[in-house]
Amino acid sequence: MLLFSLNFTRQQRKAFKRKLLSKWPEGIPLRRLLKRAPFSNRLSFISGLNKVNWGGYMDSGVALYYKPWTLFWIIQSIGLSLFILGLVLKFSFYFSGKGKLLYQRPVFQVMFKTFFREVLWQKQIAQRSLLRWSVHMLIFWGFIGLISLSAIAVALETVIPESSETARYMLYGEGHNIYKLAGDLFGLMLLLGLAAAFLRRFIFRAQQLNTDIYDTTTLIFLILLVLTGFILEAMRISLSAPVPELQYSFVGYRLSGIFFSEGEWVRAAASVTWTLHAFLTATLLAYFPHSKFMHVINSPVEIILNASEERTRGDLYI
């Protein structure tokens, strides 16, 4: 495994284990891990003593691979700015008309019921085609799940104090494992849904589907984004200490065997993949308001408003 390794005497190994155990948070079975680990004359440095990500992503305070954070913040800022600008332009166009948004008083009970039935459950699609419904649900919930997890990560980084119980639970406790499990689950759902959509559009062509260059671009971008995410996770795991908690990332964990190596190429490849993943994320943000992704926002609003107005909603599912 590609980790910091040094030759230690028996006395040095014992001193290092005592130091490591004194810094290890509760709930992580390090004693059992160290007891089973084949130290012999070599002791691998186990996950992060300084900046801690106890899934095995840091090693004695040294990042497992280089991350160009300056470039990351530049491209993410540009992507987010273009995303916000695109949304502002879209919504300013929507509200520029002189017609009323609702011609009758809104019926909130109907709107609430419609939100769960038609938006979250997508009942009309299920009635038309079980296959289409399955693909829609995989993509919709996979996408929503990953966005929600990203929001949690941003909150932990910027809003929630690191000393709080919530932060400790999510960063060092069982919450971290649940977060990793959910990330792989939603990512796999999205990837399966995208693969099915790709097959349906380009291999087993459905007659009612009209695929244009924008559909193709969106689909390829999403597939690349999910694939690079899983590949990056696999590389990170292959560079990490062998703690049992890594198995919660069940997709990346199974792919990590591909990248086990003593060479520096894994670190270099991880840096390139990390940068590519960040670039794809920023590009997708900028492209979102101008793509069919907007129907993730538009369609639920139209469905709910139309339900309140008691109008037909079949045209939204063509």
DSSP string for 11-51: HHHHHHHHHHHHHPPTT--HHHHHHHS--TTEEEPPB-SSS
Q: Please list the residue range(s) of the chain that carry CATH number 1.20.950.20.
A: 69-317
- In the chain, which ranges are E strands? 5-7, 42-44, 58-59, 62-63
Q: What is the pLDDT of residue 194?
A: 95
CA dihedral sign, ordered 312, 313, 314, 318: positive
Q: What pLDDT is recorded for position 262?
A: 62
pLDDT score, position 279: 96
The total of other beta-carbon atoms located within 10 Å of residue 226's CB is: 25
Long-range contacts: 255-260, Cβ < 8 Å, 24+? Answer: 255/230, 255/231, 258/234, 259/234, 259/235, 260/1, 260/2
Q: Residue 263 has what DSSP assignment?
A: S
**pTM for this entry:** 0.73
Q: What is the reported pLDDT for 116?
A: 82
Give residue 79's pLDDT. 94
Joined tokens for residue 291:
């793509």
Query: How far, in Å, CA of 184 to CA of 199, rounded?
Result: 22
Within the chain, which residues score under 70 in pLDDT? 1-62, 94-107, 206-208, 261-263, 305, 307-318
- Per-residue confidence (pLDDT) for residue 45, from 0 to 100: 38
- Dist. CA 314–CA 318, nearest whole Å: 7
CATH 1.20.950.20 fits 69-317, yes or no: yes
In this prediction, residue 21 carries a pLDDT of 55
Report pLDDT for 298.
72
* Residue written as token pair 């960063």: 171
pLDDT at 56: 39
Cβ-contact 189, 141 below 8 angstroms = yes
